[in-house]
Every structure is written in C-alpha cells, then in structure tokens.
Amino acid sequence: MKREPLTTVQLLELAHARSGDKGDTANVGLIAYDEKDYAVILEQVTAERVKRHFGSMVRGPVERFRLDNLHAVNFLLHGALDGGGTVSLMTDAQGKVFSTALLRMELEVPAEVARRVGGRGRYPGGDDR
C-alpha cells in the first residue's frame, strides 16, 4: 500500500478554539470542525507539543484533557498569565490570545486532507477564494 505524501496545514484549518483564564492558568479549548480530523489532533497536538509551541510564555506544565464525545481537547497552561488578571500587568492577562496562537501551530497531514480542509478557518464558507 502506497502512502500518500504529507503536507503542512495550520491547526486552524482542522479546528476552532476558545481560551480564557482561571487565576494564573490559561485554558484553551480546541474543537475539531470534522470528527474525521480528531485523530490527527489527538496524535499531533499533545501537551508536550503545546508547551514547546508557546515556549517561555508558559512557565508551568501543560495538561491536556480529552473530550472524545465532542471531538475536542482542553488544555490548561499553568503559569501562563503572570499571576492572573487581577494582578498581572500583561496586555492579555485573561489569556484570550492563546487560542489564536495555538491555531497557528503547523501539522503534517496527508495531501488529501489538506485538499479537503484547504482554507477552512481562514475564509468564510470554506475554500472558495
């Protein structure tokens, strides 16, 4: 069986996200647009990879929680908010930008998947550019 070549897409083409805060911890929920893409998200968007993606912006550990029935994952980014919204001088002390930043992560997918999702998350109505 011949494997199809891999290509790169941004996570925003496979999922949407929301983020917020609880004290010094940012919360990022990531939901697959299509259940077919949930396995790719589980395989490639790990707690370790999210920690590397954010680098020094997240000082503590990253935890991932699966929500299989929703085709979603939830991340807790500990130590990401400089003490939290009530004490931090950060511009985004509530962690709202973490969801957008996570969606910029690049994933390797088969070319067929890239063709199917191309433009999703960037253009209203999909890939009709």
Task: Render 45-92 in DSSP notation, one character per residue.
Answer: S-HHHHHHHHGGG--S-EEEEEEGGGTEEEEEETT-STT-TTT---TT
Look at residue 126 and tell me whether its pLDDT is greater than 70: no
Q: Is the dihedral of CA 50, 26, 36, 122 positive or negative?
A: negative
Full-model pTM: 0.82
Distance of CA 102 to the CA centre of its chain: 4
Look at residue 98 and tell me whether its pLDDT is greater than 70: yes
Query: Among 22, 121, 99, 89, which residue's Cα sits nearest to residue 53?
Result: 99
Whole-number pLDDT of residue 114: 87
Which pLDDT band holds residue 3 (cuts at 50, 70, 90)?
confident
